[in-house]
């Protein structure tokens, strides 16, 4: 037959993808610039379904981008800016080389800059999209805000990160949108709910980083460049949504400050803002928050349950938002001030700290109205009667439990109860640590006192049961002895008579057991008839399930062993006491 010969790799999947090197050549960018562009524009490689086809028959490992993505990059204004920058650097180097300092100055003044506004808009067409992707931006900015002002990256970036994170924290306080906090060994996780989106970020503990050498800071800096832009715009919008002034202004003493120190440096103002101590100024001073009451719809029975549940949840949420309202906290200097102040203020509490610790302390230690003092040391010499001295974990646990937990467990020098992750939602079949069960009971409204008595009872009953066990042991021993005797007798009999017809015993079979066994066999036989592919899938699922169960059992066993050891120790100490 006639016709043109079909060439390979000129149609189909091969035309949809482009390798990284080719893309780079097409864009005429260096690898570093290409990387930057991809980061800024949010372009990621794609894994083709048939790698060999796309790779023109070769199986060499290559990164592929969608050709559409690369075409889309072609008319990106930033690419030109990158090229301009390259030229700028070249000129600058030349000027330095020739020692033309005037030219250097002039060049530096005309340094090409680019803005990422349009990229943010393009990547996140709606505000909700931006919020959804805020996790990484926040975590990164919080990390960069803790970097030292020397070396690693530009001071401006660090300052900007700090500013933006402080703004965001202030917004969270103002909107009371913090939901969960978790003290992990990596850092502190926060989760806020903003416009229905759950945003989680992690803040490292405030220590100096030992900067690793195997990390490419340029990549991180490029990300941060984008993230700061994103976070800035998000902050602006968020502040606007709450009628807050942007850039943020502190509410109280706004005029005074202006009057007294007009030329007050922005830095100390910034610090005051960062202290998170006082609330922000609004555009329209509104004292009352206008809560929109949920309209009650006439619901049919099915929905009624759901609605009720929803209402309950809503109530819970409201309660959580006002958890610390009317309470006055004082932070000792050894506790992490920023995170605690942030959390407490988010739930409506008042907070202060030592004046020498940070700017913005509103009341001293000696204030009589303080209800809780957060202390993280084994004991305190001078303690006042009218306030609780609690460890910082209490605050975080309260946030997660959405109620005020009994303070007794968190007093100074007390062994703290485990700090559980609020992000874990156990499904049935998962392992639930006993502390979580207790917490759930508290949340359901069962009295904690009962629990305590129960636990005591448990102990008692445990002791009793142990006694019983002893008895049981006796019994079992007796049984064993009898069995042994019987066996011996049988042996003797056997020796006496080689052949004997013994009366058969009626085997009583448990009916349910039999039926179960039958069912199990049926299932086994049915499994045999499965198709190969289905069988594979089935085996995989079952393997996963079994592993889960195994893990759960392992955890439970570990816990039990631990509890047993504790109990034994307790008993021992009791005995010693009684002696």
Partner 1 sequence: MAAESMSVSANRSNPGGGTKRPLSDLQEKDQLSVFENAAVDEDAGDLTDSEESLFSGLEDSGSDSSDGDDEEEDEEGEDDDDSGVEEKDEKKFSKWDVKMREVARKKEGESNGKLAGSDCSVRPEQTGLTPPGDEYEEDTSDEEDIRNTVGNIPMEWYQDYPHIGYDLDGKKIYKPIRNKDELDEFLDKMENPDYWRTIPDKMTGTEIRLTDEQIDLIHRIQKGQYGDAKFNPYEPSIDFFTHETMIHPVTNHPAHKRSFIPSLVEKDKVSKLVNAIKQGWIKPRKPRDDTPHYYDLWAKEDPNAILGRHKMHVPAPKMKLPGHEESYNPPPEYLLTEEERLAWEQQEPEERKLNFLPQKFTSLRAVPAFSRFIHERFERCLDLYLCPRQRKMRVNVDPEDLIPKLPKPKDLQPFPTTQALVYTGHTNLVRCISVSPSGQWLASGSDDCTIKFWEVSTGRCMRTIEVEGIVRSIAWNPNPVYCLVALTVDRSVVLVNPCLGDKLLYNTTDQLIASFVKPEEEPVQPVEWSAAEGDSFDNGLRLIIKHNKMVKQVTWHGKGDYLATVIPDNGNAQVLIHQLSKRRSQNPFRKNKGMVQCVLFHPIRPFFFVATQRYVRVYNLLKQELTKKLMANCKWVSSMAIHPAGDNVICGSYDSRLAWFDMDLSTKPYKVLRHHKRALRGVAFHKHYPLFASASDDGTVIVCHGMVYSDLLQNPLIVPVKLLKGHEITRDLGVLDVTFHPTQPWLFSSGADGTIRLYT
Scan residues 328-387 and list those touching partner 1 (CB under 8 A): 334-336, 376-377
**Is the CB of 87 or the CB of 424 nearer to partner 1?**
424
If binding is defined by CB under 8 A, does position 244 make contact with partner 1?
A: no
Q: Exposure of 320 by Cβ count < 10 A (0-12 exposed, 13-18 middle, 19+ buried)?
A: buried
Contact yes or no for 239/171 (Cβ under 8 A): yes
Minimum CB–partner distance for residue 430 and partner 1 (Å): 11
**Binding segment for partner 1 among 6-14, 130-138, 306-314, 453-461 (CB under 8 A)?**
130-138
> Rounded distance, CA 436 to CA 530, Å?
41
Give the one residue of 29, 161, 166, 220 binding partner 1; rule: CB under 8 A.
220
- Work out how close the CB of 181 gets to partner 1 at its nearest, in angstroms, rounded to a whole number: 12
Q: Which is nearer to partner 1, 478 or 523 (CB)?
A: 523
Interacting residue with partner 1 among 14, 23, 29, 39 (CB under 8 A): 39
Residues between 531 and 550 with contacts to partner 1, criterion CB under 8 A: 532, 534, 537-538, 541-542, 545
User: Does 469 interact with partner 1 (rule: CB under 8 A)?
Assistant: no
Nearer to partner 1, 401 or 420 (CB): 420
CB closer to partner 1, 139 vs 403? 139
**166 binding partner 1? (CB under 8 A):** no
Which strands sit side by side in the sheet containing 372-374, from one edge to the other? 350-353, 328-331, 372-374, 388-390
Q: Which of 148, 133, 305, 286 is nearest to 223 (CA)?
A: 133
State yes or no: residue 136 binds partner 1 (CB under 8 A).
Answer: yes
Q: Is 223 in the site for partner 1 (CB under 8 A)?
A: yes
**Counting contacts by CB under 8 A, is residue 51 touching partner 1?**
no
Residue 400 lies near partner 1 (rule: CB under 8 A)? no
311 contributes a contact to partner 1 by CB under 8 A: no
Judged by CB under 8 A, which of 58, 80, 240, 573 binds partner 1?
240
- Please tell me the number of Cα atoms within 13 Å of 365 on its side-chain side: 14
526 touches partner 1 (CB under 8 A): yes
| CB closer to partner 1, 133 vs 454 | 133
Q: What is the C-alpha separation between 35 and 462, in angstroms, rounded?
A: 64
Q: Quick check: 174 and 242 in contact, CB under 8 A?
A: yes
What are the φ and ψ backbone dihedral angles of 198, each rounded to 5 degrees?
-85, 125
Cα separation, 338 vs 345, whole angstroms? 10
Shortest Cβ distance from residue 117 to partner 1 (Å)? 6
Residue 179's closest CA among 200, 203, 205?
A: 200
**How near is the Cβ of 486 to partner 1 at its closest, in Å?**
29
307, 355, 374, 391, 416 from 380: Cα distances, Å: 49, 19, 11, 12, 17
Q: Nearest approach, Cβ of 225 to partner 1 (angstroms)? A: 10
132 binds partner 1 per the rule CB under 8 A: yes
Nearer to partner 1, 7 or 524 (CB): 524
Q: Ramachandran region of residue 196, left (φ > 0), alpha (ψ -120 to 50) or beta?
A: left
Among 130, 273, 280, 398, binds partner 1 (CB under 8 A): 130
Instruction: Work out which of 76, 84, 133, 454 binds partner 1, going by CB under 8 A.
Output: 133
C-alpha 244/C-alpha 237 separation (Å) is 10
DSSP conformation letters of 100-112: -HHHHHHHHHT--
Cα–Cα distance for residue pair 211/202, rounded to 1 Å: 18
Nearest to 87 by CA among 119, 110, 116, 118: 110
**Contact call for residue 491 and partner 1 (CB under 8 A):** no
Q: Which residues of 11-38 are buried (b: 16+ CB within 10 A; e: fewer)?
A: eeebeebbbbeebbeebebeeebbbbbb
Site for partner 1 in 63-102 (CB under 8 A): 63-64, 66, 68-69, 72
- Are the C-beta atoms of residues 196 and 136 closer than 8 Å to each other? no
Q: Among residues 469, 470, 482, 522, which is the contact residue for partner 1, using CB under 8 A?
A: 522
Query: Which one among 33, 54, 171, 232 touches partner 1, defined by CB under 8 A?
Result: 232
Residue 360 or residue 392: which is nearer to partner 1 going by CB? 392
Q: Which of 189, 324, 329, 389 binds partner 1 (CB under 8 A)?
A: 189
Determine the size of the site formed for partner 1 (CB under 8 A). Answer: 108
Q: Which residues contact 368 (CB under 8 A, 6 or more apart)?
A: 386
Least Å from the CB of residue 10 to partner 1: 22
Which lies closer to partner 1 via its Cβ, residue 85 or residue 363?
A: 85
CB of 124 to partner 1, least distance (A): 8
Q: What are the backbone dihedrals phi and psi of residue 568, each rounded to the nearest 5 degrees, phi first?
A: -60, -40
Q: Which is nearer to partner 1, 421 or 465 (CB)?
A: 421
The reply to whether 482 sits near partner 1 by the rule CB under 8 A is no
Environment class of 235 (CB within 10 Å of its CB; exposed 0-12, middle 13-18, buried 19+): buried
Which residues ranging from 425 to 444 are in contact with partner 1 (CB under 8 A)? 433-435
Among positions 95, 391, 403, 439, the unique one binding partner 1 when judged by CB under 8 A: 391
């Amino acid at each position: 037959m006639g016709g043109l010969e079909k060439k390979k790799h000129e149609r189909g999947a091969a035309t949809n993808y482009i390798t990284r090197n080719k893309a780079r050549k097409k864009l005429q960018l260096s690898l570093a610039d290409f990387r930057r562009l991809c980061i800024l524009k949010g372009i990621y490689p794609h894994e083709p379904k048939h790698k060999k086809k796309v790779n023109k028959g070769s199986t060499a490992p290559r990164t592929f981008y969608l050709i559409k993505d690369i075409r889309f990059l072609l008319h990106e204004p930033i690419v030109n800016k990158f090229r301009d920058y390259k030229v700028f650097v070249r000129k600058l180097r030349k000027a330095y080389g020739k020692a033309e300092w005037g030219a250097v100055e002039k060049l530096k003044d005309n340094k090409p800059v680019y803005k990422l506004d349009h990229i943010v808009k393009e990547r996140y067409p709606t505000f909700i999209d931006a919020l959804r992707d805020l996790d990484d931006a926040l975590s990164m900015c919080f990390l960069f805000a803790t970097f030292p002002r020397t070396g690693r990256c530009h001071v401006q970036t660090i300052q900007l990160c700090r500013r933006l994170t402080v703004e965001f924290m202030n917004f969270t306080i103002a909107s009371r949108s913090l939901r969960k906090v978790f003290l992990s060994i990596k850092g502190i996780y926060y989760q806020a709910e903003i416009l229905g989106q759950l945003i989680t970020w992690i803040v490292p503990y405030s220590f100096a980083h030992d900067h690793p050498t195997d990390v490419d800071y340029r990549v991180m800096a490029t990300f941060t460049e984008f993230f700061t832009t994103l976070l800035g715009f998000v902050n602006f919008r968020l502040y606007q949504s709450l009628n807050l002034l942007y850039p943020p202004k502190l509410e109280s003493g706004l005029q005074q400050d202006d009057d007294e120190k007009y030329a007050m440096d922005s830095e100390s103002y910034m610090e005051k803002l960062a202290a998170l101590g006082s609330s922000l100024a609004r555009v329209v001073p509104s004292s009352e928050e206008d809560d929109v009451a949920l309209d009650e719809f006439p619901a049919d029975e099915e929905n009624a349950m759901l609605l009720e549940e929803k209402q309950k949840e809503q109530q819970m949420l409201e309660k959580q938002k006002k958890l610390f309202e009317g309470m006055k906290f004082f932070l000792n200097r050894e506790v992490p001030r920023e995170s605690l102040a942030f959390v407490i203020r988010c739930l409506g509490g008042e907070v202060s700290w030592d004046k020498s610790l940070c700017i913005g302390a509103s009341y001293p230690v000696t204030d009589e109205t303080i209800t809780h003092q957060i202390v993280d040391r084994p004991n305190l010499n001078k303690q006042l009667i009218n306030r609780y001295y609690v460890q910082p974990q209490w605050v975080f646990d309260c946030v997660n439990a959405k109620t005020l937990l009994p303070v007794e467990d968190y007093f100074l020098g007390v062994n703290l109860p485990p700090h559980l992750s609020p992000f874990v939602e156990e499904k049935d079949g998962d392992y639930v640590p006993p502390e979580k069960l207790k917490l759930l009971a508290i949340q359901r409204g069962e009295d904690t006192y009962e629990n305590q008595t129960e636990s005591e009872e448990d102990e008692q009953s445990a002791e009793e049961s142990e006694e019983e066990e002893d008895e049981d042991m006796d019994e079992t021993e007796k049984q064993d002895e009898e069995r042994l005797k019987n066996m011996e007798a049988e042996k003797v009999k056997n020796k006496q008579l080689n052949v004997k017809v013994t009366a058969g015993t009626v085997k009583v079979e448990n009916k349910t057991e039999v039926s179960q066994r039958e069912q199990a066999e049926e299932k086994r036989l049915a499994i045999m008839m499965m198709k190969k592919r289905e069988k594979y899938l089935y085996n995989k699922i079952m393997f996963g399930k079994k592993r889960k169960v195994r893990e759960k059992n392992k955890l439970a066993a570990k816990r039990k062993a631990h509890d047993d050891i504790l109990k034994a120790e307790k008993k021992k100490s009791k005995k010693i006491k009684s002696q």
